[in-house]
């Protein structure tokens, strides 16, 4: 028997559908009542979140909150009683209509930054600044772009896989003609959230692009004694300040006043399927977040240690990307400004393992150790880029 | 008997009316049922078109789609089975709330550019850049400004003329105090869409202004062998690249990779009523778009040949204006930055002839030839402005 | 018996409440029917005010119109038949989604400027321009930020005091973590509107801030012969142009073409409760607007005489602030860039006296004279800051 799938269109201009606030359960998709599946959408009100929408999707013991009005970013995820995400000083789910990315030297993006997973890209990502005659704002435009063609797909057979899809356009006449097809996959019995994105360059012409998956985690995974494990070939400091913290780059301190942020650049190391891994294990080693990613399009990893006070956003970013977090002008020489041909599609794969017990954490560490094997992870003491 | 007119207020804060999604037919306006009249409005959803509105107005055999949320611009028009407009890579009817015109050196306007008729202006139009201490973004602000006081007027007597009006404000305390009253007129038996705009400077003081009617046409009117006919006194290339295509400035090639755009500046030639004409006839000579315009306020014409691939937007612009497409700083010396006195109104008249058979096309060519008469259209080989 | 208070939540994401368009009367709050109390909210449509909201609150003989979508600013107030506010060329209550403060050299704020009370701040206020590596747009961001947690509180006992509260966030990750709790208080038997704002720096770290209450009044209070009375220690011209009008800084002329604006800087003088006063009395001396403010956080006063034609906005600003209207870069040396510590709150108190008869005006003048007493108000002839 062929697999069949129930489909729920949540938003589609083409089909004239906008479900707005709704909820559905397993039975609405023809599933057995004991399959843990629930989806709902709410429209937010008040402040700069007026008109923002939030989709809460529960599959198995995971509830993930997705923001369709912010490029299908992930606000947070909860598995059992463990929340994955962070506490930003920005509390609102800010509607892009209130964001001016050009503000304050290209830093307007920071007005809405509070998600667990923020896509940066795709015409450019990284720090604001001039490159080749164009002023690039922080981390590009995709996250401040609402999605269309939002669809939930529910497989009718075990393991009852559930996919949430949405399309985000990044288009500027003569400059950019990108469409991003996003897909989040959850499975009732699985601790994983899979992100499978396809970036298509609809132009006749080649273009350059950049993408960073800015994944951010605070307490309870982050805490004093939390530790990073990655599969890597090389780690280097982002700048002089990070160089001073190189010895403990993988260790997490308690919230520390005046810490600000240290950033480390990692050349990823993949397994036989080109998958690279990073794990942040909690102080107790009983919880962890594993970020696995496919290296063919995401060859490097940025570790953003923002170990400042809770009020400043005590958080670590585990960010696979085409590129590091530098302004694009620094990345041409690093060969980290890839080309997407006319009509070409690029695929991105990022998988979040929401690990909530010591066994899962242990298995992840074993896997990372196995992939690393005898390959040394060289520690470079000088910053990758000499910033002025 | 005096003429009487039925009026439908579609949107008016003053009157507390917002019809939102609606439709009306001839009978709703007290007209005979066989008068072809239909009007409807839809509110769009999804992506960056969330909240955009589209008015589709059918009068006779013409359906024109107007975007009240984008300054009463015309998305496209269909007469019989011929569509007038073009296929931009930008597919959404982008809501101005998502446009940041300051982006990427003043090019944010391009994020929403896909209409058949886009008004550029009115404090300034033309390419982005600094002039007299102010940074001017591409083509001014009017198109990214929603209209108010939108009214449909239907004459109760033959020829049952129909007018769609809307007001667009362009105001900045101390700088600009403009109101634009737009009016589109259609008549059941006519192939014409008339645009009659009145720009009023409500300030006590004189100001300068610019306006360009950026009218854009792709297939099926545009194609290999399509040809332009204009009434002109002079044609000159916009820049060095256009100078290389001067010999064939009026001839249209097939979509051509790497063509990008060639722009030509035309000094218009008017008839005894000060009307100037431009016709793009289709390759088969069986269809055409005629753009007629009143020269008193629109003395020059820009021809924008964007004959690149379909994916890039294969399109020709026929753009009467107060000015050419240069940044304003180049136009003072050309005397193309007119003054609008305090309390003065300026009237703009542009008429689109949607020609769908050889007879109509032939008549338009005859008319253009008659107006041109013996007046030569001088071809200048050097660009109007020496750009750096 | 303890005071009790009836509470109406108008907007709150936390509580899932958005009353949208509504109205309530005294009886809805359990008050005697003869207590003059009415509140209503409307959502505006059309143009750039689509989605803007307006709360009209009547208490006693005062109706004040507050704009929750514009930071709880006051559009205008009417007591009896006297309107307090002004007629800006900007007629719409512009929704912040249509404002781009970066436009035209940081002047986009002017696109929406038409209120009686506009808050400027709080990360910065004043004229646009570069300071310490950051481009500051005109008068900061708070007024173009919608409020949340909007609540009306009605005391159940005489004097039946009514408070309208709302919270406005000004947050940018790593830069600003401010929350502003606004409160407007009216009392049925009183001619006063009290503004009590609390700015809280939620960050762990000290920050600087600025705030100006940009209060603006036109006819009928303003007119030829209207006169300002202030409690001040010093008055100085803002720039060379204002220096030419120093002799008549407190006298108001009729609307005067080419007047543009003269600005005067006043060092305030307070009474024993640290309150300073400014009164604009009408030409007939039968009406007036008294602005009283607490000097601990608002030590200086800007007088903005914009006595140009009515079309330009014939208006006087009476603006207590932490700072003058200069760009912030000029105010460090004046000690007018105060610090707000981490977790600290700053309180602002501004009281509007809506005076509608000669007795009230006379009493206000007496009070001002009493506070001024023998203290001279020194007139400085050179501008406070030497502008380039």
> Phi first, then psi: what are they for C113, rounded to 5°?
-85, 105
Look at the block and give the residue holding tokens 């404002």.
Answer: C99
Q: What is the set of domains in chain B, with CATH numbers?
A: 5-379 (2.70.98.10)
CA-CA-CA-CA torsion sign (B290, B296, B299, B304): negative
The answer for A16, left when phi > 0, alpha when psi is -120 to 50, beta otherwise, is: left
pLDDT of residue A388: 72
For residues A140 and A124, the answer to whether their CB atoms sit within 8 Å is: yes
The answer to whether the bond into C223 is cis (omega within 30° of 0) is: no
Strand, helix or coil for residue C230? strand
For residues C243 and C257, the answer to whether their CB atoms sit within 8 Å is: no
Calpha distance C291→C307 (Å, rounded): 19
- Average pLDDT (C224-252) is 98
For the beta carbon of residue C1, count every other beta carbon within 10 angstroms: 5
Tell me how far the alpha carbon of residue C6 is from its chain's centroid. Answer: 27
Residue B135 burial (C-beta neighbours within 10 Å; 0-12, 13-18, 19+): middle
Reported as a single tens digit per residue, the pLDDT across C35-93 is: 999 999 999 999 999 999 999 999 999 999 999 999 999 999 999 999 999 999 999 99
pLDDT of residue C2: 61
Residue to mutate among A9, A21, A169, with most B CBs inside 10 A, is A169
Query: From edge to edge, which strands make up the β-sheet containing A192-201?
Result: A17-18, A5-12, A148-155, A162-172, A176-186, A192-201, A345-355, A288-294, A275-281, A227-230
Q: Is the pLDDT at C3 greater than 90, yes or no?
A: no
Strand-pairing partners, residue A347, are A198
Instruction: Write down how long chain C is.
Output: 388
Calpha distance C373→C377 (Å, rounded): 10
Reported as a single tens digit per residue, the pLDDT across C97-114 is: 999 999 999 999 999 999
Beta strand A315-321 with A210-217 is antiparallel
Q: What percent of chain A lies above the pLDDT cut of 70?
A: 99
Q: Is the pLDDT at C234 greater than 60, yes or no?
A: yes
Residues of B in contact with A100 (CB under 8 A): 100
Q: Which token pair is B17?
A: 């009316």
Calpha distance B228→B276 (Å, rounded): 14
Residues of B in contact with C101 (CB under 8 A): none
A134 and B105 within 8 Å at the Cβ level: the answer is yes
B148 and C47 within 8 Å at the Cβ level: the answer is yes
pLDDT of residue C388: 72
Nearest CA in chain C to A87: C173
Q: Single out the residue of A242, A293, A305, A280 nearest to residue A364, CA to CA.
A: A280
Calpha distance B13→C91 (Å, rounded): 11
Residue to mutate among A52, A170, A204, A340, with most B CBs inside 10 A, is A204
| DSSP state letters, C201-242 | E-SSS-EE-EEEEEEEE-TTTSSTT-EEEE-EEEEEESSHHH
- Residue A344 contacts by C-beta under 8 Å, 6 or more apart in sequence? A200, A201
CA-CA-CA-CA torsion sign (B256, B262, B268, B269): negative
Calpha distance A248→A347 (Å, rounded): 33
> Phi first, then psi: what are they for C75, rounded to 5°?
-70, -50
Q: Single out the residue of B93, C51, C86, B188 nearest to residue A50, CA to CA.
A: C51
C146 and A88 within 8 Å at the Cβ level: the answer is no
For residues C108 and B135, the answer to whether their CB atoms sit within 8 Å is: no
Cβ-Cβ contacts under 8 Å between B and C: the total is 92
Reported as a single tens digit per residue, the pLDDT across C303-344 is: 999 999 999 999 999 999 999 999 999 999 999 999 999 999
Instruction: Write down how long chain B is.
Output: 388
Q: Give A251's DSSP letter.
A: B
> Phi first, then psi: what are they for B128, rounded to 5°?
-70, 155
Strand-pairing partners, residue A3, are none
Reported as a single tens digit per residue, the pLDDT across C185-218 is: 999 999 999 999 999 999 999 999 999 999 999 9
Residues of C in contact with A110 (CB under 8 A): 172-175
Q: Nearest-CA distance from B47 to chain A in Å?
A: 4
Calpha distance A75→A92 (Å, rounded): 11
Reported as a single tens digit per residue, the pLDDT across A346-364 is: 999 999 999 999 999 999 9
Return the biggest CA–CA distance within chain B.
63
Calpha distance A169→A147 (Å, rounded): 7
Reported as a single tens digit per residue, the pLDDT across A24-59 is: 999 999 999 999 999 999 999 999 999 999 999 999
> Phi first, then psi: what are they for B94, rounded to 5°?
-75, 130
Strand, helix or coil for residue B164? strand
For residues A123 and A48, the answer to whether their CB atoms sit within 8 Å is: no
Calpha distance A385→A357 (Å, rounded): 39
Calpha distance B220→B225 (Å, rounded): 12
Strand, helix or coil for residue A360? helix
Q: What is the CA radius of gyration of chain B?
A: 20
Q: Nearest-CA distance from A169 to chain C in Å?
A: 20
Q: Is the pLDDT at C235 greater than 60, yes or no?
A: yes
Q: What is the CA radius of gyration of chain A?
A: 20
Residues of chain B with pLDDT under 70: 1-2
Whole-number Cα distances in Å, C257 to B180, C88, C245 = 24, 16, 15
Q: Which token pair is B255?
A: 């979509």
Q: Nearest-CA distance from C26 to chain A in Å?
A: 26
Reported as a single tens digit per residue, the pLDDT across A66-94 is: 999 999 999 999 999 999 999 999 999 99
Q: Give A370's DSSP letter.
A: H
Beta strand A162-172 with B5-12 is unpaired
Tell me how far the alpha carbon of residue A30 is from its chain's centroid. Answer: 31
Calpha distance A341→A349 (Å, rounded): 19
Calpha distance A184→A193 (Å, rounded): 7
Q: Name every residue in B having a CB less than 8 A away from some CB of C.
A: 11-13, 17-18, 51, 69, 96-97, 100-102, 133-135, 137, 145-150, 167-169, 171-175, 177, 202-205, 342
Q: Is the pLDDT at A133 greater than 70, yes or no?
A: yes
């Amino acid at each position: 028997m062929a697999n069949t799938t129930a489909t729920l269109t949540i938003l589609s201009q083409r089909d004239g559908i906008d479900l707005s606030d709704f909820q559905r359960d397993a039975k609405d998709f023809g599933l057995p009542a004991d399959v843990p599946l629930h989806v709902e959408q709410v429209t937010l009100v008040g402040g700069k979140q007026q008109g923002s929408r939030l989709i809460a999707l529960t599959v198995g013991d995971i509830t993930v909150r997705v923001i369709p009005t912010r490029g299908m970013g992930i606000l947070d995820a909860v598995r059992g009683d463990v929340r994955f995400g962070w506490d930003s000083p920005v509390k609102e789910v800010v509607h892009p209509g209130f964001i001016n990315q050009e503000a304050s030297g290209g830093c307007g993006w920071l007005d809405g930054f509070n998600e667990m997973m923020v896509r940066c890209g795709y015409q450019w990502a990284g720090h604001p600044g001039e490159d080749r005659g164009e002023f690039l704002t922080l981390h590009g435009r995709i996250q401040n772009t609402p999605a269309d063609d939002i669809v939930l797909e529910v497989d009718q057979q075990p393991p009852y896989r559930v996919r949430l899809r949405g399309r985000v356009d990044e288009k500027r006449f003569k400059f950019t003609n990108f469409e991003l097809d996003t897909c989040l996959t959850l499975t009732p019995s699985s601790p994983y959230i899979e992100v499978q994105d396809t970036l298509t360059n609809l132009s006749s012409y080649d273009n350059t692009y950049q993408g960073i998956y800015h994944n951010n985690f605070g307490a309870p995974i982050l805490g004093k004694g939390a530790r990073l494990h990655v599969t890597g070939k090389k780690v280097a400091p982002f700048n002089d300040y990070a160089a001073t913290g190189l010895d403990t780059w993988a260790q997490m301190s308690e919230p520390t006043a005046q810490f600000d942020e240290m950033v480390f650049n990692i050349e990823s190391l993949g397994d036989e399927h080109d998958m690279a891994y990073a794990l942040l294990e909690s102080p107790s080693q009983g919880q962890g977040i594993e970020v696995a990613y496919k290296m063919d399009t995401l060859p490097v990893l940025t570790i953003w240690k923002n170990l400042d006070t809770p009020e400043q956003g005590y958080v670590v970013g585990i960010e696979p990307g085409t590129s590091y977090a530098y302004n694009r002008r620094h990345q041409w020489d690093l060969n980290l400004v890839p080309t997407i041909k006319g009509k070409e599609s690029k695929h991105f794969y990022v998988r979040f393992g929401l690990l909530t017990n010591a066994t899962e954490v242990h298995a992840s560490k074993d896997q990372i150790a196995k992939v690393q094997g005898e390959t040394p992870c060289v520690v470079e003491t000088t910053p990758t880029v000499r910033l002025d």
